[in-house]
Chains A and B, each alone.
Chain A
Amino acid sequence: MGKKILAVLSAILIIVSLCLIFIYVPTEAQMGVIQRIFYWHVPVAWVGLLAFFITFIASILYLLKREIKWDHLASAAAEIGVIFTTLLLITGSIWAKPIWGVWWTWDTRLTTSLILWFIYIAYLIIRSYIVENERRARIGAIIGIVGFLDVPIVALAINLWPTQHPSAVIFEGGLEPPMLLTLLVSITAFTVFFALLLIIRKELKEIEYEVEGLKQPTEEE
């Protein structure tokens, strides 16, 4: 029931967000039409970070309580986080090309997102290397905690690192009200959509886990 409500709600919100982006919001003066990608780029970034934060919290809870449901939550969130970080890198490149003239620049935010992506790709790969459920959950939790705590230092270091390109100014002096409204609607839409994906993926993981358990031969046989 909850899933249905979330599905309908996220569908409506995403359609509203698309309408706002393509019809309602005024074109940004300097960058032109391409700037409209901003209204999805930022929510995608937000969902990615939120997902990794959930992985972090669920990882701590797993180590404390040793209940497999926290591992399901942590790994489901990490998978979705990686997908959204991938989308973040792609939308960022699409936006960068017409504005900066290059697909990629070693700017703080881009580079930090890339490192973040690599850390969670490692999380997923290493989980796939471990066969036993308990061990996979335990090792995954350690990486989920360490990886997340590492991110501020990565961001700090890359921020200090002398890049060739001037740091990008997205907006000087804040957003106009229609732009802010569009952004907020998009962020809400993506957050609801993320909640839906997370619930579905977590349930799927629980079913997979159950099937895995059923496949094990029992003692009596």
Chain B
Amino acid sequence: MKQILILAKKDILLEFRGKEITFSVLIFAILALIIFNFSLGSEDIKRLAPGILWAIFSFAGILHMDHTFAPEKADDTLEGLRTCPIAPEAIYFSKVLSGFFFMFAIEIITFIIFSVLFNLNVLIPQIFLVSLLATIGFVSAGTLFAAIALNTRAQELVLPLLFLPTATPLIIAAVTTTTEALSGKPLSVSWLGIMLAFDILFLAVSYIVFEYAIEE
């Protein structure tokens, strides 16, 4: 547990110092909002807000998670981490933790900007819950797939090809529950359950198979 926290702290610090990825992904998310504004008009955006937001987060998430192992790759430090007395699962969970931290931040800031731009308050507690569950799923699947993508040709294609079909239940659930939250209805338990099931499945399976993914 301590190892996970230290590794995650390292990633978060590195990102804060460099500000390479997260800020750019945030800008991408806002740009996407603006493109949707021009292509759909602001009235339709309000109506379609849940779908638009989660479509943006899916693509922004892919962009962000594609760089999960970038700092390790640049100086070949993954090799170093492997030779350390650290369980491979600790590397995985630390990447999930730091990835979650940044993705969740990107989502919250995008929610704020969305509320300002379109005069529709999406910052409500239910949406935080939805974001929490969906983002854990995004990051737990995305981190495993990013590890798979390492050292393959056409690396940047691997993540979307794998992530988008496997994450469909998560995206459907997030859109449906966000729609419920925005129309003031209580969130349906079955959808939250699906997100939870997805989170648990991917965390558990990755816990087992991650060491095979980063083997050399």
Contacts and interface: CB of A to CB of B under 8 A. Distances in A.
Interface of A: 63, 115, 118-119, 121-122, 125-126, 129-131, 135, 138-139, 141-143, 145-147, 149-150, 153-154, 156-158, 160-162
Interface string B151-179: 11110011001101110111011001000
Given A119-B165, A149-B201, A153-B198, A130 B209 contact: no
A135 B209 contact: no
Interface stretch (B29-37, B71-79, B94-102, B189-197): B189-197
Contact of A157 (B157, B164, B172): B172
Given A139-B152, A146-B205, A157-B169, A126 B162 contact: yes
Given A142-B212, A146-B205, A129 B154 contact: yes
Interface string B188-216: 00110010011001100100010011010
26 contacts: A63-B212, A115-B165, A115-B168, A119-B162, A119-B165, A119-B166, A122-B161, A126-B148, A126-B152, A129-B152, A129-B158, A130-B153, A138-B215, A139-B148, A139-B213, A141-B212, A142-B212, A145-B209, A149-B201, A156-B169, A156-B197, A157-B168, A157-B172, A157-B173, A157-B194, A161-B172
Is chain B's binding surface mostly helix, strand, loop or mixed? helix
B152 A154 contact: no
A11 B166 CA distance: 37
A125 B144 CA distance: 17
Interface in B133-155: 144, 148, 151-154
A129 B197 CA distance: 31
B209 A161 contact: no
The 10 tightest CB contacts between A and B, nearest first, are: A157-B169, A118-B165, A122-B161, A129-B152, A129-B153, A153-B169, A150-B166, A119-B165, A142-B209, A157-B172
A154 B168 contact: yes
B212 A153 contact: no
B165 A122 contact: yes
B142 to A, nearest CB: 12
A66 to B, nearest CB: 10
Contacts of A162: 176
Contact of B176 (A126, A149, A161): A161
Contacts of A141: 212
A143 B166 CA distance: 10
Contacts of B202: 146
A149 B141 CA distance: 12
B158 A126 contact: yes
Contacts of B144: 142, 146
